[in-house]
C-alpha cells in the first residue's frame, strides 16, 4: 500500500513534536523518503502541505526548512489565538453538557499524570480541542488548530511537562469550572490569562535560544 502525502505529513508533525529537528534545520526530501519508506513525490506534497500550515518553509531552489519564529511572530499568533479561541468558547459553553465536560475533565486527569513532552503536548491539544468542539464552528476550529500548531512546533517543543505545571493545572481546572457554571465571561477571562502566561513562557524560551553565547 502506497504511503500518501497526508500520512507523511502526519508523521513529520509527530517527529517535529518529538524534537527530531531544530528550528531552521533543513528537511531534505531524499532523507525524508528514506526515513518514511516513501517515494519523493508524496514527500514533496507533504512538505507543501506543512508549508501551508506554517510548520515548515519551502524555499525556491533551497528546499524545505523547519519554520522558525521570533518574538514578533509569537505576539501576532497569540493575539489571534485570544480572539479565535474566545469566539469558540462563546459558542461552545452554552452547548456543553455533563457528558461533554466529563470528556474534557478525563483528558485533564490524564494530562496531569503525563511526564513525556510529546504526550503532554498531545494531551494539552486534546484538552482545548474537546473544550471548543461543541461550538460547531469548523472554520474557527481549523484556524485555532493552525495557530496552535505554528507556535507549538517551535515554542512549546522547548517546554516540558514541568513547565508551569501547577499554574497550567489551575488554569485548565478553572476553564472546566467556568464551563460547568455556564459562565462565558469567566471562562474567557481564564482563557486569556492562560494564553498570556503561555505566550510569556514561549517568549522566554525564544529569548534564551536567541541570546548571544557568553564567552
**Overall fold of domain 5-66:** Arc Repressor Mutant, subunit A (1.10.10)
pLDDT, position 146: 86
pLDDT, position 161: 59
Sequence-separated (6 or more) residues with CB below 8 Å from residue 93: 178, 179, 182, 183, 184, 187
- 17-27 mean pLDDT: 81
With bands split at pLDDT 50, 70 and 90, how would you rate the model's confidence at 52? Answer: confident
Maximum average pLDDT range among 26-30, 51-55, 130-134: 130-134
Q: Please choose, from the candidates 88, 83, 92, the residue with its C-alpha nearest in 3D space to the C-alpha of residue 179.
A: 92
- Residue where the block lists cell 499524570: 113
Instruction: Name the residue ranges covered by the structural domains of the chain.
Output: 5-66, 71-210
C-alpha to C-alpha distance for 57 and 63, rounded to whole angstroms: 8
C-alpha to C-alpha distance for 167 and 200, rounded to whole angstroms: 13
The CATH classification number of 71-210 equals 1.20.120.530
C-alpha to C-alpha distance for 173 and 54, rounded to whole angstroms: 30
- 166: buried, middle or exposed (CB in 10 Å: 19+, 13-18, 0-12)? exposed
In tens, the pLDDT along 133-179 reads: 999 999 999 999 888 887 876 555 556 656 667 888 999 999 999 99
Distance of CA 176 to the CA centre of its chain: 20
In tens, the pLDDT along 111-141 reads: 998 887 778 878 888 999 999 999 999 999 9
In tens, the pLDDT along 71-117 reads: 898 999 999 999 999 999 999 999 999 999 999 999 999 999 888 77
Report pTM.
0.78
Amino acid at each position: 500500500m502506497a504511503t500518501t502525502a497526508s500520512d507523511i505529513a502526519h508523521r513529520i508533525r509527530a517527529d517535529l513534536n518529538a524534537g527530531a529537528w531544530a528550528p531552521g534545520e533543513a528537511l531534505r526530501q531524499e532523507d525524508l523518503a528514506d526515513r518514511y519508506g516513501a517515494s519523493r513525490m508524496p514527500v514533496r506534497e507533504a512538505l507543501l502541505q506543512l508549508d501551508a500550515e506554517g510548520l515548515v518553509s519551502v524555499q525556491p531552489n533551497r528546499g524545505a526548512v523547519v519554520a522558525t519564529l521570533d518574538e514578533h511572530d509569537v505576539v501576532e499568533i497569540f493575539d489571534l489565538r485570544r480572539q479565535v479561541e474566545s469566539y469558540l468558547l462563546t459558542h461552545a459553553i452554552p452547548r456543553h453538557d455533563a457528558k461533554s465536560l466529563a470528556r474534557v475533565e478525563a483528558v485533564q486527569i490524564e494530562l496531569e499524570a503525563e511526564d513525556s513532552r510529546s504526550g503532554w503536548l498531545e494531551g494539552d491539544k486534546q484538552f482545548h480541542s474537546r473544550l471548543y468542539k461543541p461550538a460547531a464552528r469548523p472554520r474557527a476550529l481549523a484556524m485555532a488548530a493552525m495557530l496552535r500548531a505554528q507556535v507549538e512546533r517551535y515554542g512549546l517543543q522547548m517546554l516540558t511537562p514541568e513547565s508551569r505545571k501547577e499554574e497550567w493545572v489551575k488554569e485548565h481546572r478553572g476553564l472546566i469550572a467556568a464551563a460547568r457554571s455556564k459562565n462565558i465571561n469567566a471562562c474567557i477571562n481564564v482563557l486569556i490569562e492562560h494564553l498570556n502566561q503561555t505566550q510569556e513562557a514561549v517568549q522566554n524560551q525564544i529569548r534564551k535560544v536567541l541570546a548571544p553565547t557568553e564567552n
